[in-house]
């Protein structure tokens, strides 16, 4: 979906409605694309504690010192 900038003032609510339905909207000025309006990701509904039980696979070494050091190195600002 594409809209010209001059038309957007009157159509903003329609653009938002399209995004709510999952569409992406490109906004043009003088025939040149200048912005993209995209839908935000919605949170998944949780049914409570244990909702992901049986759906996740955890590696046996997930909390070992070597694994933690490797992750820390990835986030080290130095």
| C-alpha to C-alpha distances, 59 to 11, 20, 67, nearest whole angstrom | 50, 37, 11
CATH code at 6?
A: 3.40.1620.10
Higher per-residue confidence, 68 vs 8: 68
Is residue 65 a part of any domain in this protein? no
Task: Report the b/e string of 13-51 with b at 16+ CB within 10 A.
Answer: eebeebbeeeeebebbeeeeeeeebeeeeeeeeeeeeee
Number of structural domains, the chain? 1
Nearest to 26 by CA among 41, 52, 47, 7: 7
Higher per-residue confidence, 56 vs 7: 56
Is residue 62 a part of any domain in this protein? no
Model confidence at 68, pLDDT cuts 50, 70, 90, reads confident
């Amino acid at each position: 979906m594409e809209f010209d900038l001059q038309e957007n003032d009157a159509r903003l609510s329609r653009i938002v409605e399209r995004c709510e339905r999952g569409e992406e909207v490109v906004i043009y000025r003088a025939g040149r694309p200048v912005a993209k309006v995209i839908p935000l990701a919605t949170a998944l509904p949780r049914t409570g504690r244990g909702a992901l039980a049986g759906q996740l696979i955890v590696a046996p070494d997930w909390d070992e010192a070597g694994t933690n050091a490797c992750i820390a190195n990835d986030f080290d600002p130095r």
